[in-house]
Amino acid sequence: MNLRTFLKEKLVPADIDQHVDGIRKMTGSLGYDPWGFNRDALKIGMTFVQHLYHRYFRVDAKGVDQVPADGPVLIAANHSGQLPIDGVLIGYALATRDKDPRIPRAMIERFFPTVPWVGNILNQLGAVLGDPVNCAKMLANNEAVIVFPEGIRGSGKLYRDRYQLKRFGTGFMHLAMKYNAPVVPVGVVGCEETIPAFGNIKPVADWLGVPYVPVAAPVVLPAKVYLRFGEPMYFSNVDMTEEEMTERVDQVKRAISDLIDEGLSERKRIF
């Protein structure tokens, strides 16, 4: 018996086991997909995350049904909090919704594959190297893909810049248009307060080959997290200049900003 089978048998409750088995997902004969996703690993991951989701971060998710039941879709959210906790929580919300749950894929930073254990574990849970080719192949495969158009500019931002959206890349819009994938905007409130960072030790980050090394408390604080899913936005696939493309990206950015405001206005206290 290998470690994964052992952990699955010991830890995974029957309801998660049945729930994940009930979600349609294309995998090969041994339960893997080309990016390394593994159904049993996801069950183990969800067993841990359910406690984080319900008890630690007490997530309040609204509008998760806005994500279409099938077909390619890009779930675009604001990125924050140094660690990709926002991606994990959005993924869990979608995978556990009552009607038509989906197992989404999250695009992750390029340095993760070089980190032993971490890269492999993330891949098994469904996260994928953030490469445009990967994203394109996944949309062609009718997957729901979580993207953070701010990239590391978002996750590495300091506490004083919280809830200020950084520059959005246009790559996700090109792909959404090419694959006729709707964009579902998501506003994440609370992750900024999970690991508040007050500085970035750049020389150490350069030496380690990672995007940033934050000056922050070495703990993840139990901030209450609000996820606000907006209506799907459809963009026709027409030839356009990069300037026009930026206008479309700004529409998504505004939608995310409105959803963040909605979450912030509903928040009564941080913890």
Binding site for other proteins (CB under 8 A): 2, 28-30, 32-36, 38, 110, 113-120, 123, 128-129, 131, 133-134, 137
Residue nearer to other proteins on the CB measure, 34 or 199: 34
Residue nearer to other proteins on the CB measure, 117 or 271: 117
d(CA 174, CA 99): 29
Q: How many CA atoms lie within 13 A of 173 on its CB side?
A: 24
Residue nearer to other proteins on the CB measure, 112 or 235: 112
- Shortest Å distance, C-beta 84 to other proteins: 18
Residues 6+ apart with CB under 8 A from 52: 88, 89
Cα four-point dihedral sign 108, 114, 115, 119 = positive
198 close to 33: Cβ distance less than 8 angstroms: no
Residue nearer to other proteins on the CB measure, 27 or 237: 27
Q: Residue 46, exposed/middle/buried by CB under 10 A (0-12, 13-18, 19+)?
A: buried
- Shortest Å distance, C-beta 175 to other proteins: 13
- Shortest Å distance, C-beta 127 to other proteins: 12
- Shortest Å distance, C-beta 154 to other proteins: 20
By residue count, the chain amounts to 271
Residue nearer to other proteins on the CB measure, 9 or 15: 9
d(CA 150, CA 168): 5
- Shortest Å distance, C-beta 269 to other proteins: 40
Strand partners, 193: none
